[in-house]
Amino acid sequence: MVDDGYQDIVNIDISSVVIEQMKKKYHAKPQLKYMKMDVKNMSQFESCSFDAVIDKGTLDSIMCGQNSQENATKMLEEVNRILKDKGVYVLITYGDPSYRLRLLKDLQLWTIKLHVIDRWERTCDPPWELTKPLPLDGDGLSVVSLLGPKPDVHYIYVCVKGSDDGKTHLHSKVEDNQEAN
């Protein structure tokens, strides 16, 4: 991201070992800041202070631990708190939409779009384009009908803080068609 021009990137991890390793590895990139912090309590950050949060694996890790539902909710509420209005939470996960979508949707914090990236080694063309979100219904079953059971993909949830009515809604191709008319 620094190579693409981003100048202020904050990285957090609960492990001081990881933080020290990353500081050493990227010492030549002062734009990268590293802080030891629990994502469930980011009180060191002011509310509405970030334009975006990128999560690759943190929510997945929390969902594998004790009190997963409660801890995931704490994490997502903190992410929402530190995001500016219209800020973006990008969740990159293996977590099936029937689990992750319900968790994200129940909090009613974001407008949610779902994208997928196929594994690199697969050779067939996917039935979707990365730049277009997959159609979503309330429980994620439309994704299963499109991709089939147990697809070998990364799910990318793009969650935008706030919406016109203050409630989360699921963006879909049906809504795109209605907006065009």
Render pLDDT for 149-169 as a digit per residue (tens, 0 to 9).
666 788 899 999 985 444 444
Residues 168, 105: contact at Cβ < 8 Å? yes
Tokens 């933080």 correspond to 19
Using alpha carbons, list the distances in angstroms from residue 55 to 124, 125, 175, 176.
28, 27, 27, 27
Q: Which residue has the higher pLDDT, 50 or 97?
A: 50
pLDDT, tens digit, for every residue of 35-82?
999 999 999 999 999 999 999 999 999 999 999 999 999 999 999 999
Over 70: is that where the pLDDT of 137 sits?
A: no
23, two tokens: 């500081």
Tell me the mean pLDDT in the region 5-29: 96
- What is the distance between the alpha carbons of residues 181 and 173, in angstroms, rounded to a whole number? 13
Q: Is pLDDT above 60 for 90?
A: yes
Q: What is the pLDDT of residue 136?
A: 64
Q: What share of the chain is helix, strand, coil (3-state, %, to 5)?
A: 35, 25, 40
Work out the average pLDDT over 130-157: 66
Give mean pLDDT, residues 10-32.
Answer: 96
* Average confidence score pLDDT of the chain: 81
Higher pLDDT, 114 or 166: 114
Give the angle 96-101-102 at the CA atoms, nearest 5°: 110
Burial state string for 52-63 with b = 16 or more CB within 10 A and e = fewer than 16: ebebeebbbebb
Say what the pTM is.
Answer: 0.78
